[in-house]
Structures are given as structure tokens and as C-alpha cells.
Structure 1
């Protein structure tokens, strides 16, 4: 049987052998088509199990997520401490959407603003963000429920005092662009090299406004620009073999800085400026940190690669010891030791690093940032990493320039005039907070005017005594729906509170009366001196640090009658 195919007609051979070959090709094409057609209805997905099985693994990232930070992340923490020292009352704040009329920076600037404000309020409680915005085009569950509850008078929306307004002012693309190309050619070889780079300017303008009057406050503004760039280089090589064959190679590498990271840097800088100007604190001190140097992380990355695995372990381990996450007796723990991984996890959680329990670059950078400073020539240098100030070997171990002092910062969080501690009226609620400079076990007690002692922390809802460094512990936790207890001012006189921090869990070493239930008077212990005496007997004079806070309580005035008499 002979077949005439379109290919045979199109190719039109004029010899019998050529036509015979074309007919054979056409024959097998028809046979293959028939086989595929007959098998379409019987294709079995089980034949592809081996190809499908690895898909759920292949679609996952191969690099761990890292915390989104900017050059001013440490500056935000600095501002948090500065606002706490200023003892500013908590302020309600909101913000508008930040439009981008260029359409070239698709980022959520408003959410970056919320994050910056939150990071400046961890210790100070300086700001609480009022999250309410009507967006008809993007209805969500929270917005719908809020609207229903407001309409039914079942929800009270607090009015913010301030709001943030701003926009991405402009994006000037490729303001500077350079290209270099060079090549050479011969009979057998062609060689070419190219190099290019470009720079784009992104600007952000932010203002602070008074919500009650919807007016922008003069002088409380920020206008900054950042340059993002990209570059690439490539090499072409071609060669010819004889007259009919050739080989060509092309290699290149490119990079492009992202607009998202650039905008986060601008937002953090703008919020530091606005908050600093509004609070009238020396915010520029937080902008002068060495970690704000744009080359900080790049230099740290170079040192990380130089250190090697053993060097990284020794460096980070020494930093954890200096901060209280490990004791000096744990200075030889391996990277996979359970206690080492637990200490790393707590440190990562406290410093905003994604918790992995292993030493990665973000952990390395967070642990050693206090041991880096600008040298006399303006370059980043390592401080205390070895006796000579240089990391000479992978086994070099950091010698902390100054071990973190061990102390407690006990504060009254009730709104009060700056520099003054008003007396509480009988029955007023009292709000305290305690912050330890090093990871410690924390025990807090209340002492009334008669000297009766009551343990506040730990209690039935806060059983864990271990608290992280530089993390404010609220007493009681007024941000929780169930704080566990309320601390009210008692009878007129002088009351107080005392918090003790220990390196290890002290409860098993304390006397029996101090191990009793929380929030009940402790028997046979009188006043703050008696409590300190019991801790000293159990732990020694150097086994704990303490901080005392006292305040006055006055009698509540009786309400005046209709004639104005009390």
C-alpha cells in the first residue's frame, strides 16, 4: 500500500529513491498519529507518579525567610528607649493611604508606617494605632463587622489624636546610566565585553496632622530621597571551526536593588523624624548609630563568610553569654546542643530575627552589632573581637568591650506630668512595668502601707519566670483581655513594689512562705527589707538584683453635696 503525504508533495523529489524515502516517512507519521489517537482515551495518570511525587518539595523555597529590616531598624529600637525615658503618655494615631502617582512602586507604605510605629512602642507604649478605614472597593470581614457594630451602637471607636499623611512624591528612573562595550574579532575568534549600570531616585514625603482639626502641623514633616540602582556585565566568546561549524559562549551577571527595601528605609527614617520632632526628643542621636551605615550589613556579611562555622559559633556564643542568655559555664556548648539551640531561639525571638535555633547570618549580625563601630577613618571596624582588635583566625573569640550591666527598670505607667510623680487616690488603679537588661528570672511583689507583702509575678496566669532582655513586662498586663489581677491603691500612706531578677530559677531555693500562692499576703514577711533579707539568705548578696518603686496614697475626697459642702 502506498501513501501520498503533504510532505511528499511539498518536497517533490524527482528520483524514485527519494520518493520512496518520503513515502516511508509519511507511513510512520500516520502510524504514530493512529497510535496516539487510539491511546488518548486510555492515558493513565499513574504512569507519571515518579514525575509528580517531588513536585510538593520542588515548589518550596530553598532559603529560610528572614525578617524584613532596614538600615534604621536599630534606630527604631533606640527611639523606643528614648520615648520611654521621656515618659510620654500613650497616644492614639492613625494614617492615610500613601498614593503612588507614578505607578512604579507597588508597595504597602501604610503597613510599613504601622510597623515602624509598633517598633517604637515595644517598651514605651508610646503609640497605639487606630485601625479603621472605609474602603468600599475592598470590603473585608473586620470592616463589615465594624460597620455593623458601629451602626448598632455596640462598638465605640476611639478617636486618634494624630494621623500620618504622605505620598510617594516621584520616581525618576534611570537618572544616571552608563554603558561600556568593547570587542575584538579575528578569522577564528570573536570576543566581546559589555558593562552597564543605572540609578533611579525614589522620593517619599510624610506629614503629621492633628486629627481633631484635620490640619497638618507646621514643621512636622519629612522629605527624603533614596537612590536604587542596578548593574550588569557580560562576556561573549565565539569561535569557528573550519568553514561550516562554530561555537558561541555567553555569560553575564546582573543585579537590581528592589524598591520595596528602599521604601522601608525611607518610611523608617520619616517616622523617626516625625515622632522625634513631635515628642521633642533628640532623635538625631538614634540616626547616628553605626548600624545605619549603608555598608554595615555588607561588611558584616564579609566577616560572616570569613569566620567559618567554628568561628561563627564562638563569636555568637560569647555574645549570648555577655547578654545573659547563656551562663559562663556553658561556654563550650556545640551548635546542636539543646541548651544552645534554646538560647539562640530566645535571642532570635527577642531581636526580631526569624526563630530557627541555628546560627545564620541574621542571627550573627544581631549578636555582633554591638561589637562594630566606626573607626577613626570612618570605616566599620570590629571592637573586642580579639586581643588585637582583628579576627585573625576562625577560632578567635570576641572579648566584650563592656558586659551588659545587670539591672531592672521599674516604672509607673500611669499618665503623669513629666518629671512628677503624683499621689494616687485610694482605690485608683496602678499600672507598672519592669524591664531587665539581661535575660533573667523575674519576681515582683507589692507592699501596702502596713508592710504586708503580696507576690504579683509569677502568678497562675504568668507561670513562667524567665523574661527576655529589654522586653517590658506589664504589671498587670493591661493589654490582655484577662490580666489576672488589678492593682489598686490601698489605704493612705506610702506603698511600693519591688522586683528581683535572678540568673536561675530562684523559687526552689526560697523559703516555704515565699513559695506560697500568688496574689495573697505572704506570711511572716514584713515590708521590703524583710523580703530582701529572705532573697539574700537564699541566693546571697550577689545572686540577684532588685529595683524598688514607692508612691504615695491619699484619701479620696467625699463628693460635695448640693450646697457645696463636703
Structure 2
């Protein structure tokens, strides 16, 4: 047999040996990477917004949107679904936003022409906007170097390309079709693509050798867009509801590099060290009462699943980066500390103090707390509220009730009997107190009432003093038809130095 025939037979046998078994196709097609929750650097900030909206009594704000269309025609993404998901995460506790889903060509036109009597309750507001700008390859940098010798050539190269994406959002009033003044946002994110490579070519005994190594890292444009929409909605809804959303943007997790730093710290740990750190973190957060051993026991697995579920993660009983990332951002894991030593015997875990920035509510300059009366609330009962704070402040409290089917709100503190209302850690406030000449008496069964307090660091300047403070106390306010409008007036006067707590309850 000739040489070429031998080579042909050999190659044929080799090719036959590489044919895959068709029965394994179903297994081969299965993804090998675990499912994970979609995270952005603003996931924790959205939870923070949810807490703030609850504290400030914002709820059931009905709105809709046609999404964020791409006016540039370069980024096709499900922006409406991204928006619904972000608003949902900001409403889990507070119930602040109710998104009205109308899947038609034009939401605003459909609502405007919808006939009454169908049972459909239209939203009051809508979010509009667009991906207004996409500039690809804004900068393109390339660096390379090579060395050539008679028998060898070696070269290296590095490239970087940047693109920018801009989103503009506004809130409009559906009844007037007017965009609300000051409730707009425009933000830009930069997407970076990096590549590096090395090559070597040589000649050995007249046989050519060529080696090429390339690595490319590209930040996802659509993931960048989701991050941009998350941030833009936090800013837009913060302006719309007048809550101090900047507190949530101060969280460590909103730093662009925070997630990458947490990932690097997680990857440096062994599996036992990962378990040990998560155990210590959940002990510190009060979610696990066992001991930190570095062993994934059945009891700890149950608490692990609970910790994941309350953080909207997949409760799969496994230690993963998603939970580690959140606990690090909450201050329960110190990524700058050396890897822990896994004990050979069970030892009690040290308590880890959380960072001053609270993961749920963001930075609170005053630390205001409003305590609800205990026990069942019955018609005709007299109730007393306690207010405490960590920092000195001026305190203003209001009571919302219904009378003859109409909502009324009155200022109960300060009042004509107590014109000075200062609060501090050593000087908590109780109202109505014995020195006040009034009582708060609960109305009829089924009625909903509310009490809200605003604490402010310092006095209001006269030119910024809220209108509700210029009206008589213990008398229905004329400049506000509800507690939400009262809170808005105070926040417009001094948002960043204010803390707000609102309690709503139903008379039994």
C-alpha cells in the first residue's frame, strides 16, 4: 500500500473515533453553569429605596410606561421589563409603586381613549424617555511591541475600545400630559472592551512553529443598560417621591468596582472558608444561632436557604457569590481581612459589627424611630406614641384620620400646649403627653389612620419654612389633604438633613 493511502486510512480511523454518541446529545446540550439571580451594582440600592419609601409612607402610586425605546437603533433590549423589575424591587416592602401593564402600541393613547365603566383603574402618572444616545468606539487605543531575531519573533499587543450609552427619563401626569417639572434624569454609562495577546514565531530545523494567545474582556452592553436603568429609576423615583434617595447611592455596593472586589475576595477562599465566613455573617445578622464550624450542616443549610430567600436569591442550599456579595455590602463580611482559619473543633463565632451605612435604609442622619401602640386598636381607645432618635433634632408630628368619609390631617407636635419640640437620644418624646391638652381617640372600626413624624437637624430658614407650619395646630390643614403632602412639604424644605417615619394602622 502506498504511503498516501496509509495516511488516508489512518485519518479516516481517527475521524471515526472522534464521532460523538448521539445518545449523549441531551446531556451535552445542558448548561454547565448554575442559574443565578440578575445582579447590578444597584441591587442593594433598590432595596434601600424600598425601605425609605416605606418609612416615608409612600405607597400605591399607580403608573405605567411604554418602556425605554432605543431612538438610535443600535441597542435592542427589553427595557420595559427591566423597568418593571426595578420598580418591583423598590416596592416589595413599601408597596410604593403599582405598575399598570397595558401591552398595546401606545399606552398613553389607550388610557386616554379608554371608556369608563370597564373596571379598569387608570394610572395617574407615566414614565417616558428613551435611549437617546449611543456612541460606539468613542476611543480606540492600541499598543503593541515585538522583537525579531534570526530564529525567533515575539510580539505582544493590547487594545481598548470604549462606547457610551445615554438614557433620558421623565415622569408625566396622565391627566394633563405634562412632564413634571424637576422630575427628569439623564445619565450616561461607558462600556469598555479590552483585549490583549501574545505571539511567537520560530524556525527549528526548517519546521515553522507559531503560537498565539489572545484574551478579550467585553463589558456587556445590555447589562450596562440594565445598570443604567436601575440607577436612573432610583434617581427619578427619588425626585418624584421627594425621599432622600442620595442615602441609597452612598452604599458601598454602588461603587463600580465593588462587585469585582467582592468576587476576587470570594475566589481567594477555600470552600470551607467560604462556609465559615457566611456562618459568621449570619450569626452577626441574627439569622443563624448555631456555631461557625466551616461545615455545611443540615441545620445551617436551612438557615442559609432562609437568608437567601429573604434577599430574593435562589434558595438552593449552596454557598455562592450572590449571597457573599450582599453580606459583604451589608458589612457582615470584611473582604479586606485575611482568610479565616477553619477550626478543627466547634468554636463560637465572633460578632461582626455592621458598617454605619445600613443596607436596608441607607444613611440616616438622625436615626428616628416611631413606636406603635401595643395591643389591638379598638374604636374609642386613646393612644399614645413614643418617638426616639439617636441624634438631636427638631421634631414635627402629624395625625391623619377620616371624618365623614373625608381624609383630614392635623399637626399634633409642636402645638399650642407644647410649642418646643426637641428630641435626642436622652430626651425621647411622647405624644399626647400629660402636658398636652388633647387626646388621640381612635375612630370607627375599619377606618385607616396614620401618624407621621419628621425630624430635622436644625431650624428651617424662614424662606423655606413649610406652609403646614404656618397653619394652626390641632386643626385640619388647608395646604395638605393628606399625610403624604405634609411629608413632601418638609422634604422640599430640607431633604438631606431630614428623617421621616410614617405608621399606618387600621382600627379593629
TM-score, normalising length from structure 2?
A: 0.64
Residues 400 and 393 (structure 1 numbering): CA distance in 2 closer, same or farther, change over 3 Å?
closer
Aligned residue for 1:5? none
Q: Residue 351 of structure 2 is aligned with which of 399, 405, 416?
A: 399
Aligned residue for 2:425? none
Give the CA deviation at 1:269.
Answer: 1.1
Matched, 1:230 2:230: no
Matched, 1:217 2:187: no
Q: Residue 295 of structure 2 is aligned with which of 314, 325, 334?
A: 334
Give the CA deviation at 1:79.
Answer: 0.9
Matched, 1:291 2:291: no
Aligned residue for 1:357? 317
Give the CA deviation at 1:304.
Answer: 1.0
Partner SS state of residue 183, structure 2: strand
Partner SS state of residue 422, structure 1: strand
Aligned residue for 2:232? 270
User: In the TM superposition, what whole-angstrom CA distance separates every residue of 1:492-547 from its partner, at most 9, and x where no partner exists?
Assistant: 9x9xxxxxxxxxxxxxxxxxxxxxxxxxxxxxxxxxxxxxxxxxxxxxxxxxxxxx
Write the distance in 2 (CA, Å) between the matches of 1:89 and 1:356: 32
Aligned residue for 1:420? 399
Give the CA deviation at 1:393.
Answer: 3.6
User: In the TM superposition, what whole-angstrom CA distance separates every residue of 1:75-104 from its partner, at most 9, and x where no partner exists?
Assistant: 111111111111124111000232213222
Partner SS state of residue 54, structure 1: helix
Residues 409 and 163 (structure 1 numbering): CA distance in 2 closer, same or farther, change over 3 Å?
farther
Give the CA deviation at 1:307.
Answer: 2.6
Indicate if the aligned counterparts of 1:310 and 1:394 stay in contact, CA closer than 8 A.
no
Superposed counterparts of 1:152-231, under 5 Å: 155-231=118-194
Write the distance in 2 (CA, Å) between the matches of 1:277 and 1:64: 38
Give the CA deviation at 1:306.
Answer: 2.3
User: In the TM superposition, what whole-angstrom CA distance separates every residue of 1:380-433 from its partner, at most 9, and x where no partner exists?
Assistant: xx65x8xxx7325443966311599xx998799xxxxx932415889x9xxxxx
Structure of greater relative contact order (alpha carbons < 8 Å, 6+ residues apart): 2
Aligned residue for 2:328? 368
Write the distance in 2 (CA, Å) between the matches of 1:183 and 1:490: 84
Indicate if the aligned counterparts of 2:151 and 2:203 stay in contact, CA closer than 8 A.
yes
Indicate if the aligned counterparts of 1:320 and 1:326 stay in contact, CA closer than 8 A.
yes
Write the distance in 1 (CA, Å) between the matches of 2:256 and 2:446: 56
Partner SS state of residue 356, structure 1: coil
Count the aligned residue pairs.
365
Give the CA deviation at 1:48.
Answer: 12
User: In the TM superposition, what whole-angstrom CA distance separates every residue of 1:26-83 from its partner, at most 9, and x where no partner exists?
Assistant: xx99xxxxxxxxxxxxxxxxx9997112211111111112111211111111111111
Write the distance in 2 (CA, Å) between the matches of 1:70 and 1:338: 31
Write the distance in 2 (CA, Å) between the matches of 1:154 and 1:355: 44
Residues 400 and 410 (structure 1 numbering): CA distance in 2 closer, same or farther, change over 3 Å?
farther
Matched, 1:70 2:40: yes
User: In the TM superposition, what whole-angstrom CA distance separates every residue of 1:270-299 from its partner, at most 9, and x where no partner exists?
Assistant: 111111111111111111111111111111
Partner SS state of residue 103, structure 2: coil
Aligned residue for 1:88? 58
Partner SS state of residue 330, structure 2: helix
Superposed counterparts of 1:38-49, under 5 Å: none
Give the CA deviation at 1:365.
Answer: 1.3
Unaligned stretches of 5+ residues in structure 2: 10-16, 344-348, 359-368, 377-396, 408-442, 450-502
Q: Residue 77 of structure 2 is aligned with which of 80, 89, 107?
A: 107
Which structure has the bigger radius of gyration?
1
Q: Residue 307 of structure 2 is aligned with which of 347, 358, 362?
A: 347
Aligned residue for 1:55? 25
